[in-house]
Amino acid sequence: MAAKRKRGALAAGKAKRARSAPSAGEAVPEGGPRARSSPPQEQGSPPQEYSIPPPVSQGKWKNKERVLIFSSRGINFRTRHLMQDLRTLMPHSKADTKMDRKDQLFVINEVCEMKNCNKCIFFEAKKKQDLYMWLSNTPQGPSAKFLVQNVHTLAELKMTGNCLRGSRPLLSFDPVFDREPHYALLKELFIQIFSTPQYHPKSQPFVDHVFTFTITDERIWFRNYQIIEEDASLVEIGPRFVLNLIKIFQGSFGGPTLYENPHYQSPNMHRRLIRLSVAAKFREKQQVKEVQKIKKKGTKVLVQEDPTEVVFETPAEEKPVEIQFVKPESKPIVKDKKKLRKIQRKKQKKLFRPEG
């Protein structure tokens, strides 16, 4: 049987643990406990304890938003790095193992419930080349499906900017988000997912970077910039990607369709149009070659003479035909030029010799 504790044992233990303050005449040894310097006490007064103030609480964590960020199997290295970058930038996020392709998407609601998360970012890979992103408010909804394009990660960009890990971001939105209803719904979804809750245990009480959402060419462009204190300029940090909206659903990962993007073109259709354009160019070249072969094999058609061609021709004078019956004298072949000159002089003398 264990021995019973005495009633005064607990009080005695507490009295032993309490540290008494040194009197005015005593000196504190070096390396002793750090505490506030207390004023000198009067003689005969009871000793005071060292009081260490508790940390000042900045506030209470009320907005308990938790985001689950994970993916399906079959993603490439760039998608994996992008997912890791988002987890780094969002201290209120949680991770989970990859989901099997055979499972249905509504299973993600149960995974979020087990992880105690009320928001979800799910990366879905298809054909090892197409990447889709789901943003959902679990379990009630709504949810939005995007096609992710032009992905650049933090390690790939090698930007000069840098921000504190776990700091809270500012969210900057394009004015178009306030004009159309489907963009207003997406804006509220982005605010609830990407904004770090105030007084989150893993967050830092600093604001040193900005998430920007810009709409250009019917797509949402995501950028991350650092705020420089000197001149309040912005330097891009990364990551960066482009979201092409496909559909907005009323429920979480399904349900009635609230909005469908009429400008969206699936990657399969885009690749098919590229193949058709290449095939059309090849077919055109083949047809040109066949036409050239037919022209070469075909019979040549003689063009009839044009009677107007002789209009500007002037008839030349006909010269009398002279017939030479005497064989011309053969010229002597002389290699020496001096002899040739002598022969020529002799001939000239014969021609100009007077007849006597």
Whether the bond into 139 is cis, omega within 30 of 0: yes
Average pLDDT value for the chain: 82
Residue 216 confidence (pLDDT) above 60: yes
Q: What CA–CA distances, in Å, run from 43 to 38, 47, 61, 225? A: 15, 10, 48, 63
CB of 243 within 8 A of CB of 147?
yes
Query: H/E element holding 258?
Result: strand 254-260
Q: With cut-offs at 50, 70 and 90, classify the pLDDT of residue 132.
A: very high
Supply the Cα-derived Rg of the chain in whole angstroms.
49
Residue 113 confidence (pLDDT) above 60: yes
What is the residue-wise DSSP string for 197-256? PTT-TTSEEEEEEEEEEEEETTEEEEEEEEEPTTT--EEE-S-EEEEEEEEEEEETTEEE
Give the separation between CA 140 and CA 50, rounded to whole angstroms: 53
What's residue 13's pLDDT? 47
Closest listed residue to residue 185, CA positions, set 118, 256, 119, 259 = 259
Per-residue pLDDT of 241-275, as tens digits, reads: 999 999 999 999 989 999 999 999 999 999 999 99
Residue 231 confidence (pLDDT) above 80: no
What's residue 20's pLDDT? 46
Residue 66 confidence (pLDDT) above 60: yes
Query: H/E element holding 95?
Result: strand 93-95
SS3 content of the chain, % helix, strand, coil (to 5): 30, 25, 45
Closest listed residue to residue 89, CA positions, set 114, 119, 69, 112 = 69
What's residue 74's pLDDT? 87
Q: Furthest-apart CA pair in the chain: how many Å? A: 185
- The mean-pLDDT minimum among 35-39, 88-92, 317-321, 338-342 falls in 35-39
Per-residue pLDDT of 171-214, as tens digits, reads: 999 999 999 999 999 999 999 999 998 888 888 888 889 999 99
Query: H/E element holding 173?
Result: strand 167-173
| Greater model confidence, 43 or 348 | 348
CB of 91 within 8 A of CB of 108?
no
Residue 82's identity, in one-letter code, is L
Residue 21 confidence (pLDDT) above 50: no
Per-residue pLDDT of 72-105, as tens digits, reads: 998 999 999 999 999 999 999 999 989 887 788 8
Residue 215 confidence (pLDDT) above 60: yes
CATH architecture of 67-269: 3-Layer(aba) Sandwich (3.40)
Single pTM value for the model: 0.64
Give the separation between CA 162 and CA 128, rounded to whole angstroms: 32
| Greater model confidence, 45 or 221 | 221
